[in-house]
């Protein structure tokens, strides 16, 4: 297919980010134009406007929890993204490394053996005074940072990849980045410590978004071509997830319990719940609920429709944000 005919998949860049990896896991590079965006909001805008066929954004990390910027965009307080729906997900194992310039006497770090646990430096880091990373990474590497770099200044930047890029520019050896091993290659940095995250099974979940009126699998182009073939044949309809937001009358005791009972009544298992400031009034919240199940026009899966009908009677307002196939193995 020529570049002009290939659908665009927008993702949170830059190149070399974990979102980039998630995007390549879900979309064949040869069938799509994979297009990096500066912010998560830019991905939403590209999909809402129809410029991009799909968007890929980080949603949740197993150690650090939700990505609040993404939640706020789904909450859509200003009505800018009325047509955005989630249509897929992708999981990527996050292995942060400490990248920088090792003192010249040190052996090149890539020759070092595999990660040790608990992580410790594999090069001299006594000169490191400034750290750069995405804000979420600090919380994922607490033990290592508290042990070895407690007094280093922490600088938040827009991505772990950007952090590596900045550190590459400072040859003094005083700067280091919490970033991915692919960024070490990309910016020619030394690995000063490997897999420094507290939990080695640290995983980030990414969501694939589409416009409500865009084509959906199995018509034309599948959303996750690398795995849809197998899932289509086994006909496993029940392994789906659904995302819903709602608001409640917070003056009413039990309002939240009533809303959640709507899902219980239909036997729907809630897999997560989140809150974000409503933006309308201080100390009021938008609730996010994710559940096992699929909203459909008709058929056995009417449970989600039933629960939404019930929810509509007890909440102040709600929005269905899409149903998609579960990609979490052993879930």
Sites of contact with its own copies (CB under 8 A) = 38-39, 41, 61-65, 68-69, 72, 134-135, 139, 142, 146, 150-151, 153-158, 162, 199, 201, 203, 250-254, 256-258, 260-261, 263-264, 267-277, 279, 282-283, 285, 287, 328, 331
Return the number of the residue (10 or 191) whose C-beta is nearest its own copies.
10
Q: Which is nearer to its own copies, 140 or 214 (CB)?
A: 140
Rounded to whole angstroms, the Cα distance separating 62 from 320 reads 24
- Which is nearest to 211 in space by CA: 46, 78, 91? 46
**Closest by CA position to 163, among listed 123, 130, 198, 126:** 130
Which tokens go with 60?
């949740």
C-alpha span between 31 and 310 (Å, rounded): 42
Nearer to its own copies by C-beta: 114 or 251?
A: 251
Q: What is the CA radius of gyration of the chain?
A: 22
Distance (Å, whole) CA 311 – CA 244:
10
Alpha carbon of 296 to those of 60, 293, 301, 302, 304: distances in Å? 25, 10, 6, 6, 8
Nearer to its own copies, 40 or 209 (CB): 40
Q: How far is the CB of 213 from its own copies (least distance, A)?
A: 27
Residue number with CB closer to its own copies (107 or 272): 272
Q: What's the min distance (Å) between Cβ of 200 and its own copies?
A: 11
Q: How far is the CB of 170 from its own copies (least distance, A)?
A: 14
Helix 40-48 / helix 68-75 crossing angle, nearest 10 deg: 30
Least separation, in Å, of the C-beta of 251 and its own copies?
8
Distance CA(253)–CA(298), nearest Å, equals: 35
Name beta bridge partners: 203. 93
- In eight-state DSSP terms, residue 110 is G
Task: Output the smallest distance, CB 30 to its own copies, in A.
Answer: 31
To its own copies, the closest distance from the beta carbon of 297 in angstroms equals: 23
Report the candidate in 200, 154, 195 with the shortest Cα–Cα distance to residue 177. 154
Smallest distance, Å, CB 326 to its own copies?
Answer: 11
- For its own copies, the closer of residues 202 and 214 by Cβ is 202
Residue number with CB closer to its own copies (127 or 250)? 250
Neighbouring CB atoms inside 10 A of 11's CB total 31
The structure tokens listed for 24 are 């390549």
């Amino acid at each position: 297919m020529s570049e002009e005919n290939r659908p665009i998949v927008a993702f949170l860049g830059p190149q070399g980010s974990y979102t980039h990896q998630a995007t390549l896991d879900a979309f064949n590079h040869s069938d799509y134009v994979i297009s990096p965006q500066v912010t998560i909001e830019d991905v939403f805008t590209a999909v809402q406007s129809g410029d991009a066929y799909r968007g890929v954004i980080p949603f949740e990390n197993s150690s650090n929890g939700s990505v609040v910027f993404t939640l706020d965009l789904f909450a859509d307080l200003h009505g800018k993204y009325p047509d955005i729906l989630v249509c897929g997900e992708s999981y990527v194992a996050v292995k942060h490394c400490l990248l920088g310039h090792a003192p010249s006497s040190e052996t090149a770090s890539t020759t070092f053996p595999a990660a040790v646990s608990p992580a410790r430096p594999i090069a001299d880091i006594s000169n490191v005074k400034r750290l750069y990373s995405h804000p979420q990474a600090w919380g994922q590497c607490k033990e290592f940072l508290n042990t070895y770099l407690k007094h280093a200044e922490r600088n938040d930047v827009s991505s772990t990849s950007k952090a590596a890029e900045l550190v590459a520019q400072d040859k003094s050896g005083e700067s280091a980045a919490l970033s991915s091993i692919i960024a070490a290659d990309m910016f020619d940095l030394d690995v000063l410590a490997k897999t420094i995250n507290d939990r080695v099974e640290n995983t980030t979940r990414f969501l694939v978004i589409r416009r409500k009126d865009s084509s959906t699998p199995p018509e034309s182009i599948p959303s996750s071509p690398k795995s849809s073939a197998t899932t289509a044949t086994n006909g496993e309809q029940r392994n789906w997830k659904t995302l819903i937001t709602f608001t409640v009358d917070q003056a009413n005791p039990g309002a939240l319990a009533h809303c959640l009972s709507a899902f219980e009544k239909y036997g729907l298992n809630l897999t997560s719940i989140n809150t974000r400031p409503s933006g309308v009034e201080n100390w009021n919240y938008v609730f996010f609920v994710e559940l096992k199940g699929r909203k459909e026009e008709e058929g056995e899966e009417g449970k989600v429709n039933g629960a939404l009908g019930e929810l509509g009677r007890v909440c102040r307002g709600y929005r269905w944000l899409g149903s998609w196939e579960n990609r979490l193995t052993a879930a």
